[in-house]
Structure 1
Amino acid sequence: MTAFGTALLVSGTEQLLAARAVEARRKEALAEQPDAEVNRLDASELQGSMLAEVVGGSLFASHIIAIIDDVGATPPEVVDQLVATAKNPGPELCLVLVHQGGNKGKGLIDKLKKARIELETVAPIKSWEVPKFCQAEAKRQRVGLTTDAANALVAAIGTDLRALVSAISQLADDAGGEEIDAKLIGRYFAGRADVTSFAVADAVLAGNSSLAMERLRWALSTGAAPVLVTSAMAAAFRGMGKYLDAQGMRMNEYDLARQLGVPPWKIKDYSRNSRHWQSGGVAAAIKLVAAADADVKGAATSAEYSLERMVLGVLAQRRNAAR
């Protein structure tokens, strides 16, 4: 199938995937017609005869690749003309329309869908699917990424796809063709303040008091903001609370991860630690974390003392639950 004589609507909020979809169609069209002219502009600029100029041929190129961003901002008087062009683009036009999702320009989008314009949806990737995305991205960059490494990378970076792609690119360069494992991820991100905060929460959740205190002091000494520690603790114990509430459900770890909105590897952490926690202990821990969060935001004179008291208090709740 040729790219010319077609119109593609790329719709959704995930900008990285949207950009890739647009670039893939542009490359496909240029592979067919290397001398094609590429015109790209924002839909809000489609005033007067601008649409005809963008999609029409020129003295220098007969084939046109027209990319119109934020199509939801198309001026009302141009909507019908744009729909007609998308419906019948002509054999020398490759038209790509980019919609950022939401209700902006809903009338136009409905008309384009009714006209059966080719649609590529780029919805955000669910949190439990992000590790698989990382492995696919590593494969795309011709490097291996173990499952443990993918999970460690998401724990270190978060779920922002652009940040993950950038990190994988750097890791791939430094791996020298070797498979990326969890140890390499650990070496890369050991000094990140937000990562060390989550390491504190993991140690507390596991009930390792000496490691938790060691990691807390290390986090603070390496510049982690106290509020990052309380944030990581809150996330960890909210997740454990949800896990305990959902334990009676007959679901595999992937369905349970989807239910809780966490990556599958987190389910294994919660499962391993859940026998030492009860719902009442988790609720008490969350209250302690909330109090510490207020302290580090100004209610107390020593943030370090407040965090140490929080960690010890939460660990006591775990010990009480284990009795």
Structure 2
Amino acid sequence: MTATATRSVPPLVLISGPEAVIADRALSTTLEELRASAPDLEVIRLAAETYEAGALGMHASPSLFGGDKCIVVQDLDEAPDELQEDLLAFLAAPDPDVTLVVTHKSGQRGKKVLDTLKKSQARVLEAPAIKSDRDKTDFAMHEFRAAGRRATPDAVRALIEAIGKDVRELASACQQLVADTTGTIDEDLVAKYHGGKVEASGFKVADAAVAGNAGEALRLLRHAIATGVDPVPIVAVLAQQLRQLVKVGAAGRGRSADVARDLGMAPWQVDKARRGLSGWGPEGLAEAIQAVANADFEVKGGGRDPVYAVERAVLTITRARSGR
């Protein structure tokens, strides 16, 4: 009996979206499903960047020894015309013993192939971008739930602050915590594994500055600079936190989850901003935001001393709180 008679994966699979971590997992899961019914599955990978005309047809043709194949065409969004034409020819007369998996990050290139795949009842696996802190919070929470573990909102917040923008590193950090710890994952556990990264980031600097603690903000700033953190992302975090104060303050009352959804934030960010608003007035926020805008100009080439520019912004922010 061939795998085509028993497999759960349809002959056509489309992995659509720019998030590489999710796309890679979708591909791995698809190949695992195929191998469950065809242990000797032959996997052929074709990259759009190096594709040569006719290669798809050559690999899709029956081999002398038979058996099932999976052809993975990567990055249709970068595909030359030859690859798109070969894909359309294959889709017009697909081989039942060949599973075709196509990945497409975004954009209009390859649209005719995409439309044909969907009309041909391809399984579509989404890999949406993970950009905002709310997206990253949902992603991390899902990672822990999928592993059968509970993580507190403060733990997830601390982990995101430690890791930064890299979603692949965030996934790895979640897996490490699951593998190396037991019980509920809380902020103390995250601090044990990643506390140095948090302290050396702009987030702790911003927290102290927004709270009006000049001495602590300057200490953390100097520590961050000494450990190699560039002034530019520190200023970006200061700006982000001040903008969040303004947005949450203007949103008024309401459930954190509802406000977060409306503002494109994570609920923990709304709660944090509400706590941070104490001691801030409109004039102070305006002064602080202007100071950060000036610092942003200077650290990006407009000033002579980027570190001094950030220090001056931090001191202005702490003075602006409560009009001190």
* Normalised-by-shorter TM-score class: 0.7 to 0.9
Contact 1:282/1:317, CA 8 A, preserved across alignment? yes
Where do residues 257-296 of structure 1 align in structure 2 (5 Å cutoff)? Answer: 257-296=260-299
Give, as a single letter, the amino acid of the residue that structure 2 aligns with 1:67: V
Compared with structure 1, are the counterparts of its residues 146 and 103 closer, same or farther at alpha carbon in structure 2 (3 Å cutoff)?
same
Rounded to whole Å, the distance in 2 between the matches of 1:292 and 1:134 is 32
Once the two structures are TM-superposed, the CA of residue 67 in structure 1 deviates from its matched residue by: 0.9
Partner-residue secondary structure (3-state), 1:9: strand
Deviations 1:38-69 (A, max 9, x none): 11112455544322222233124421111111
Is 1:202 equivalent to 2:199 in the alignment? no
Output aligned runs, 1:67-216, within 5 Å.
67-76=72-81, 79=84, 81-83=86-88, 85-86=90-91, 89-125=94-130, 127-141=133-147, 143-175=149-181, 177-192=182-197, 195-216=200-221
> For residue 278 of structure 1, what is the amino acid of its counterpart?
G
Q: What secondary structure sits across from 2:18 in the alignment?
A: coil
Contact 1:37/1:61 (8 A) holds in 2 = no
Contact 1:43–1:71, Cα closer than 8 Å, also in 2:
yes
| SS class of match (1:40) | strand
Correspondence 1:298-313 to 2 at 5 A: 305-313=308-316
**What is the root-mean-square deviation in Å for CA atoms of aligned residues?**
2.9
Aligned to 2:22: 17
Equivalent residue of 2:201, what SS? helix
8 Å Cα contact 1:193-1:225 kept in structure 2 = no
| Residue correspondence of structure 1 range 28-47 to structure 2 within 5 A | 28-43=33-48, 47=52
1:12 Cα deviation after fit = 0.9
* SS of alignment partner, residue 65 of structure 1: strand
Q: Contact (CA 8 Å) 1:194, 1:224: kept in 2 or not? A: no
Partners of 2:129 and 2:17 in 1: CA distance: 8
Q: Secondary structure at the match of 1:83?
A: helix
Judge conservation of contact 1:86–1:117 (CA < 8 Å) in 2: no
- What letter is aligned with 1:137? E
Deviation at 1:305, TM superposition (A): 4.6
Query: Could you state the TM-score of these two structures normalised by the residue count of structure 1?
Result: 0.85
SS at match of 1:290: helix
Report the Cα distance in structure 1 between the residues aligned to 2:108 and 2:175, rounded to whole angstroms.
35
User: Equivalents in 1 of 2:144, 2:199: separation in Å?
Assistant: 24
Q: Which has the larger displacement, 10-19 or 298-307?
A: 298-307
Q: Is the 8 A contact 1:3 1:94 kept in 2?
A: no
> Could you report, residue by residue, the CA deviation over 1:90-121 in whole angstroms, capped at 9, with x for unpaired residues?
43222111111112212322232233322222
Q: 1:296 to 1:23 in 2, by over 3 A?
A: closer
Asked if 1 retains the 8 angstrom alpha-carbon contact of 2:281 and 2:322, the reply is no
Unaligned segments of structure 2, at least 5 residues: 1-5
Task: Rate the CA distance shift 1:5–1:182 in 2: closer, same or farther, 3 A.
Answer: closer
Structure 1 residues 73 and 244: alpha-carbon distance in aligned structure 2, compared to 1, 3 A threshold? same
Point out where structure 1 has 5 or more consecutive residues left out of the alignment. none
Offset of 1:26 from its aligned partner?
0.8
- Percent identity, aligned pairs only? 34
Partner in structure 1 of residue 3 of structure 2:
none
CA gap of 1:222–1:64, structure 2 versus 1, over 3 A, is closer
Larger deviation, residues 187-196 vs 32-41: 187-196
Rounded to whole Å, the distance in 2 between the matches of 1:50 and 1:222 is: 50
Deviation by residue 1:103-141 (Cα, 9 ceiling, x = unmatched): 221232223223332222211135313223213223445
CA distance 1:269–1:147, shift in 2 (3 Å): closer
Cα deviation for residue 307 of structure 1 reads: 3.5
Native 8 Å contact 2:211 2:318 kept in 1: no
Q: Secondary structure at the match of 1:41?
A: strand
Letter in 2 for 1:266: Q
State the aligned residue count. 318
User: Could you tell me how far 1:152 is from its partner in structure 2?
Assistant: 1.2
